[in-house]
Amino acid sequence: MKPRNLAILLSAGLAFAAAGCGSDSGSTQSGASPSGSAAGAAAPVTISVGCQPPKSNPKERAQWDADVAEFQKANPTVTVKGNDAFPCIVPETFQAKLAGGDMDDVFYVYYTDVRKIIQAGQAADISPYLSEVPALANIRPDVMSVFKDGEKVYGLPRTNYSTGLVYNRKLFTQAGLDPDAPPKTWAEVQEAAKKIAGLGAGYVGFGEYSAGNTGGWHFTSSLYGRGGEVVSPDGKTAAFNSPQGKAVLENLKTMRWTNDSMGTKQLLRWEDLMRMMGSGKLGMMIGAPDVVKEVNNTFKGKFEDYGVAGLPEATASLSGGDGYMFNPKATPDQIKAGLKWLEFKFLTPGKGQFNYERAKNDGLPVGLPDTDLFGSTEPGAKVQELRKQFATVPVEHFQPYVDANANVQFKLEPPKAQEIYAILDTAMSAVLTRQDANVDQLLADAEKKANNVLARSS
């Protein structure tokens, strides 16, 4: 989950309020072209779109606005209205908004929510309109599969990621650690975290989530890295009550209570660790390269202070991401217009999120080893070429991540992910807030609850 971006990345992770439903946001006559290619042939159409960058991120906000202006000039009958509520998703309210139909015409989602949304009939089938998206043929099949149910398609990806270890190189140096040799084992993470926490009051060696479904998300990342599974291969029973699952919680319990390297403030969620990283007081956390981008852009960190390595001891890495789906109330013309916007903004090399020349000129970081949507296709090669051409970041800070990921298996999030993550939040929060927490009992309780969730879906 990045929650954005990481959210990010990550989501990247995020809440938004609907800017309007398809039924009252400027529908057009069915079948009218939203492109405006034939004068007088199309009626005006307005689409509300989620996850516009917030005002607290002025550079990316300005880029969004510039992209809207360019897109609307090329498509004069389309009006794009962004929704900038931040964060983009809050799990506690997201499902209620879906159930009430109070979503944007083009609404932002984590991969983890897509399956449930499709099964509940809370997103439009966009299959009849995919001729509007030539870029679709170049998107990696494993990424597109997230938005498919059989032959039907319900959305498009915006980002995808795999997890590693984000760390503060400056703090490594201050603590007498080598920033060019980040930890490769959890034992090394523990030792580095103790040294960083020892720098003084307010310094935290290793940070971890345990609220808002983010704790379960990171539990899954650590579990995958250790070779464990969240659910059985048939998806019917929980599989995390295992030696690998126990190792995840015991490792955190040791760092929290024995080593005193995780700080006293717990029950953290996405924005909390981003803020701590940006403050320069957090040494390490699980995350993808987009975490560094978010810390730099939104949380006032200095980009050159950070690096990303592979997840310690990992042979597999959690791969997730985010994208967009369509309100089932959206008209055909709103869907067509939305698809055109998504292709322009998120799926075109040199445009929108891949306009690296603009990003460089705006002083934003370019060159992060993000996992690409296009793989080895021609657009994928073009994205890589542009990223290298306009790189502004010290790419050597991320080489340990690149090297590690050359040898790991990428694994998507489990079925019923958000519900299972919410259950695992309890186990994560317990070991981080109660010194006497019983790891075996926590896993057994979580297993029982997760089995009930999985049974309801079978």
Domains of the chain, first to last: 22-160+321-346 (3.40.190.10)
At 18, list the tokens.
Answer: 């609907």
pLDDT band, very low/low/confident/very high, at 69 (cuts 50, 70, 90): very high
Residue 95 pLDDT > 90: no
In sequence order, which ranges of 369-438 are alpha helices (DSSP H)? 378-389, 399-405, 417-433
Do the beta carbons of residue 262 and residue 204 sit within 8 Å? yes
Is the per-residue pLDDT at 31 higher than 60?
no
End-to-end CA distance of the chain: 23
Over range 48-56, report the average pLDDT: 94
* pLDDT confidence of residue 300: 87
So what's the pLDDT on residue 458? 56
Q: List the structure tokens of 320.
A: 């997730």
CB atoms inside a 10 Å sphere around CB 363: 11
DSSP state of 132: G
Residue with tokens 């029982």: 448
Distance CA 273, CA 318 (A): 19
Q: What is the mean pLDDT of residues 294-311?
A: 91
Bond preceding residue 157 cis, omega within 30 of 0 = no
- Beta bridge partners of residue 15, listed in sequence order: 89
CB burial of 64-73 (b: ≥16 within 10 Å; e: otherwise) equals beebbeebee
How many angstroms from the chain centroid is the CA of residue 215?
A: 14
Residue 267: per-residue pLDDT: 97
Average pLDDT over residues 232-250: 97
Distance CA 377, CA 19 (A): 36
**What pLDDT shows up at residue 9?**
35
Q: Name the amino acid, one letter, at 408.
A: V
Q: What is the mean pLDDT of residues 382-387?
A: 91
